[in-house]
Every structure is written in structure tokens, then in C-alpha cells.
Amino acid sequence: MKTTAFLLFLMTSTLAAQERTVRGVMQPRPGAPAEDVEVAVHPVPVDPPSVSAAESTLPDDDLVLGVVVDGKAMAYPIRFLALTEIVDDRVGDTPLAPSW
């Protein structure tokens, strides 16, 4: 059951997007001449699962990024955000992207 749920999560999130490369022109920093750049893009989790505070095993001293939207509170452990830098989630009706 757990495996099925996990496979479903993978199929509906990261497998929908591919590792890819995006090309463009940008300044490496303000004032510097523009350069051709190629950026490697890695898919990140979409709609990651969550648990209640009572169900969580996260250590008390772990850092989280917390948000309250539409009266709903949500916490994103920095240790998870640091793995993928950013995730795509939804709190209430609001689509949001916590990042680290």
C-alpha cells in the first residue's frame, strides 16, 4: 500500500517533468556583459505529502519555513528544502513555492 502510494506520488509529480536544459542570455551579475548560458533543470516535488504536528517525527530543534495562508498553517523543514532547493505546494487554495 505504501509502495503504491509512493509510485503514484512519483508519477504525478516529478515524472511529469523531465531533466532538461534551458538556454538564454543573461548578465552573470549586474554591470557585467551578457553571456550565453545553459542552465540544467532538475524536477522537484509537486504537492508533497504532509502530516500533523502530532504525527511528525521531526526533531524539535530542526529549522522550518512556516507560513499561514487562508487560516491554514504549514511548515517546510529546511532539511527537505535543502535537498531540492524548492518545492511546489498548495496551502488552502493558494499555490505556493517555498524555497531555501
Partner 1 sequence: MYARQVGDRELTFDFAEGLWNNNLLIVDRETDSVWSQLHGKAIIGPMEGEPLTIIPSVQATWKFWKERHPDTRVMVLPDVEGRPYYYRNRPTGQSSPKKPKTEHDLSVLGFGLTIHDEALWVPLEELHGLESPVELTLGGQSIRLFHDADAMTAWAEDTDGELLSGVLAYREGWHDFFPKSRGLE
**What count of other Cβ atoms lies within 10 Å of the Cβ of residue 30?**
5
Chosen residue from 1, 12, 33, 66 binding partner 1 by CB under 8 A: 66
- The residue count for binding partner 1 (CB under 8 A) is 67
The answer to the question of residue 11 lying near partner 1 (CB under 8 A) is: no
Rg (CA), the chain: 17
Q: Which position has the grid cell 498553517?
A: 73
* Residues 16-45, interacting with partner 1 (CB under 8 A): 17, 19-20, 22, 24-26, 28-30, 37, 39-45
Task: Give the nearest distance from C-beta 6 to partner 1 in angstroms.
Answer: 5
Task: Give the nearest distance from C-beta 30 to partner 1 in angstroms.
Answer: 7
DSSP 8-state class, residue 43: -
**What count of other Cβ atoms lies within 10 Å of the Cβ of residue 46?**
16
**99 CB-near residues (< 8 Å, 6+ apart):** 81, 85, 86, 87
Q: Which residues bind partner 1 (CB under 8 A)?
A: 5-6, 9-10, 14, 17, 19-20, 22, 24-26, 28-30, 37, 39-46, 48-53, 56, 58-69, 72-80, 82-89, 94-100
